[in-house]
Structure 1
């Protein structure tokens, strides 16, 4: 891309960063020392505002860059991500949102520890939440690196590395200074920008094919080199039994994982009531549903207009399909229109990444301070010191995410998020559902449910083709692959539920009926909720 065009895109990047830093500065002046302000934004957001923020938090680089890239490369099989991410919100709406808002204050551990022995439960849930958050952060880092590397020089490793470091520094700054209030407004701005950009690109793709979606699909199939197989199941997840089980495993992780994501659960605490939390989810489902429908058009549009070979040539994992599509729709790399559209889309994608990493970093730092640190020093910990610990934790989490993001920069971001969803569904969802709905659930059961899902999920990922044993692995020269599936959800999710059941039935602890009754009444009515 010509230097002047690169400058335009960088100016748009800088403009968004400047706006978000201004929001952060404004938010940092409001009730800065309050734990409720830092973690939950004072619980003052309306359902519509929180719905937009949830959508902004959820529609990540995996959605905008990764899913469209997978559809462009693998056609029908890439649709699984769109369907799975959307269907997951029905689980959140009907099983989690209102009950979590009534039972907790800031984190997942608040819900579980309400009727358990607090310290072991908080340590377990906090550890799991931080692990899931870091995995999710890595995906955003990889997306940022792919995007800016394309802008600054194709596949420049130096550009990717410095972008990952820069995004990590910004996310720490947002969280440390502004807390939940700044993060929420950044996510709202990002959601509006992302929806606007997706609508514009979708309209341009449909105009290119005179509104004929069938022609779009036929052209995509022809350019893919796979013919009709591009529009049928099996191109990525077909063939032998391993690929088919991987398909099932990924689907389970996507559908069940959302309800266990710490940064999504924490958003329900930013509204004043459980009813507002439920209405927030309804708003977010409308926004997210519309967006994922558009990713289908964008993915097949990239296959038809740019071509899978060009997409793969720019980024082997397909993470740059949408920016390349924007470049072509605007008139090509040498045209002003193509450059402007590319720059706008790249800036929106960058905004997407910054907003999501801020939300994830806030949730994970809250888990470190409110669950891990405070569980060890609960009697002597004041709210202000807890917030200070959260700010320090944000720095540490940022460093870890930057290091892992540099390591995993050649993997597809949607695939990386799928791993985070698998861990969330394996470790967080079982303990959450058991705590809310099983009267006999015990402290041992809660701890076993978390570690019984978390440890197998992480071990299976390490022993999978993702880490070693193939040219696409993190360590292609090594081979310690013993687990054949790329996504561990098919094994680790049932293990999490089984471990929670086994720990409960083998526990000598007698469940506190009074605490369960109190939790049940609070979860269903909101009486006594913070």
Structure 2
């Protein structure tokens, strides 16, 4: 398989780590007692937090946004917890292990999306929104069509993410814990439902915070131990890595992973703007008290993630030095046991022994639990708040009714996630998160951005542009090399590039612009007139009555 074909699985945050490379049969390891004990401790602690959070979750605001009482630091850690996934830890360190310097370029690539969120979205999103980003997108436009579009875009992204997470969880447990795939998928599904059903956003937030702290601690320890071995000299680290790696000095040269500039540009755009359109990330900005705390959230999250990805770079090169040259970590054919995605896990064994190996294994699995909890809550809020309360009941649903629908949706999503995890066990699911980011960048982000900044946006333009962006992303992904050739088995792709975001985003923005400026209806004039009121409120956050436009 081409290296470029596995990039989505390795690089995009939130995906089950190295999903492409672990699809199909996975060699099951002997039971890792230390890992299971530490995982049980983590699960017990988070279930206690869920019980504690359930006592403090009494209203719709508590359930969706933890009552807006999360601080900027806490929210920044929780956001980082969402992004510092098993993909980031295991997949990117594996990318550095196999390709060297290129791993640093791609691991830091999607961090560019965070300044966009900080300077363009965070403040206005917090001031205009209440529970979901559809609150903002529909503020001055027609509620029913815009919320329907936003909810559909959110649910597609959530579904694609959940499939990748559930399949990745099963494969990860087979490799690290020695447990059965089905047991792993069911376990993740049950825990996911418990966290969200009873603890809501408060429990989900603290699960993500704890996981982020544990992962930062584990990665820091590994990086320090690696640097200790090489005398805390980066020059020595790189020299030793080049001396033992099969590619030699070539691992220090960038540009070997994506050879096609169009695909590279499309990947970059998807990472940057897809981040700003992910529903479970945007939802986190409603958990803080005001716009100032929202900005602080982005600042802290960017800092934590930047530090973490720097650590993965050291871990990847450390794995080359301490694992790649050690025959104890290789099978009879000379390949790394469990595949290259196990490089960080083997490094944990090399620097910390079996106990630390168990810790890292448990933390790697905990990352998936944290991500699926956030995804489930985002999907449930899209159904209950956007579709049921605002579209079906037209704002007349009581708070109790909306919460009931949300919790029913959580249970249904749990069953669906388990079923999809089992259904896609043998499938190549690497493309799914690539598609999720493309949809977020092509449907959610354009409508959200233009609704906040462009005075001439109309419902007609937003609907046509949003749906065209979503459909274009899906169709081009299906016709491209990843699905058309690798999954469906055709000889040549109809769409020649790996990623669709460059073209699907262009379609979305152009269609939105064209069908908005040519809309001369009375409704369009009224929507444009409301922009001035929205602009003032987006700056101050004063006087907002969501759903009462």
Q: TM-score, normalised by structure 2?
A: 0.86
Aligned pair partner of 1:281 in 262, 286, 298: 298
Give SS of 2:139's match: helix
Residue 343 of structure 1 pairs with residue 341 of structure 2: no
Aligned residue number for residue 220 of structure 1: 241
Moved more, 61-70 or 299-308: 299-308
Query: Residues 286 and 245 from structure 1, CA distance in 2 versus in 1: closer, same or farther, beyond 3 angstroms?
Result: same
Aligned residue number for residue 497 of structure 2: 485
Q: Distance in 2 between matches of 1:349 and 1:380?
A: 43
Aligned residue number for residue 392 of structure 1: 408
Aligned residue number for residue 333 of structure 1: none
Output one character per residue of 1:78-121: Cα deviation in whole Å (capped at 9) or x when no partner.
33332222221111111111110001111111001100010000
Residue 252 of structure 1 pairs with residue 269 of structure 2: yes
Query: Residues 229 and 4 from structure 1, CA distance in 2 versus in 1: closer, same or farther, beyond 3 angstroms?
Result: closer
Q: Distance in 2 between matches of 1:27 and 1:92?
A: 29
The structural deviation recorded for 1:222 is 4.2
The structural deviation recorded for 1:528 is 2.0
Moved more, 49-58 or 298-307: 298-307
Aligned pair partner of 1:464 in 475, 480, 488: 480
Q: Distance in 2 between matches of 1:416 and 1:62?
A: 14
Question: Aligned runs of 1:94-105 on 2, under 5 Å?
Answer: 94-105=119-130
Aligned residue number for residue 216 of structure 2: 195
Residue 126 of structure 1 pairs with residue 138 of structure 2: no
Aligned pair partner of 1:435 in 438, 451, 456: 451
Question: Aligned runs of 1:31-430 on 2, under 5 Å?
Answer: 31-32=57-58, 34-153=59-178, 159-238=180-259, 243-307=260-324, 310=330, 313-316=336-339, 318-330=340-352, 338-374=353-389, 375-406=391-422, 407=424, 417-430=433-446
The structural deviation recorded for 1:211 is 1.4
Does structure 2 conserve the Cα–Cα contact (< 8 Å) formed by 1:150 and 1:314? no
Output one character per residue of 1:451-484: Cα deviation in whole Å (capped at 9) or x when no partner.
12111111222222322423xx4x5x56684222
Q: Distance in 2 between matches of 1:441 and 1:312?
A: 56
Output one character per residue of 1:205-253: Cα deviation in whole Å (capped at 9) or x when no partner.
1112221223322333444422222222233213xxxx33222221111
Aligned pair partner of 1:517 in 532, 535, 538: 532
Query: Residues 355 and 64 from structure 1, CA distance in 2 versus in 1: closer, same or farther, beyond 3 angstroms?
Result: same
Aligned residue number for residue 513 of structure 2: 501
Does structure 2 conserve the Cα–Cα contact (< 8 Å) formed by 1:257 and 1:429? yes
Output one character per residue of 1:379-430: Cα deviation in whole Å (capped at 9) or x when no partner.
44212111121122223333444444452677687x7544422221111111
Aligned residue number for residue 17 of structure 2: none
The structural deviation recorded for 1:122 is 0.2
Moved more, 458-467 or 46-55: 458-467
The structural deviation recorded for 1:5 is 6.9
Does structure 1 conserve the Cα–Cα contact (< 8 Å) formed by 2:28 and 2:175? no
Q: Distance in 1 between matches of 2:237 and 2:525?
A: 59
Residue 12 of structure 1 pairs with residue 38 of structure 2: yes
Q: Distance in 1 between matches of 2:121 and 2:395?
A: 30
The structural deviation recorded for 1:488 is 1.6
Does structure 2 conserve the Cα–Cα contact (< 8 Å) formed by 1:35 and 1:387? yes
Q: Distance in 2 between matches of 1:195 and 1:366?
A: 30
What is the RMSD computed on CA atoms of the aligned residues? Answer: 2.5
Q: Distance in 2 between matches of 1:430 and 1:196?
A: 37
The structural deviation recorded for 1:346 is 0.9
Does structure 2 conserve the Cα–Cα contact (< 8 Å) formed by 1:146 and 1:315? no
Aligned residue number for residue 334 of structure 1: none
The structural deviation recorded for 1:47 is 1.5
Give SS of 1:469's match: helix
Give SS of 1:116's match: coil
The structural deviation recorded for 1:378 is 2.2
Q: Distance in 2 between matches of 1:427 and 1:398?
A: 25
Give SS of 1:467's match: helix
Output one character per residue of 1:321-354: Cα deviation in whole Å (capped at 9) or x when no partner.
3212212223xxxxxxx21111111111122211
Gaps (5+ residues) in structure 1? 331-337
Q: Distance in 2 between matches of 1:494 and 1:212?
A: 46
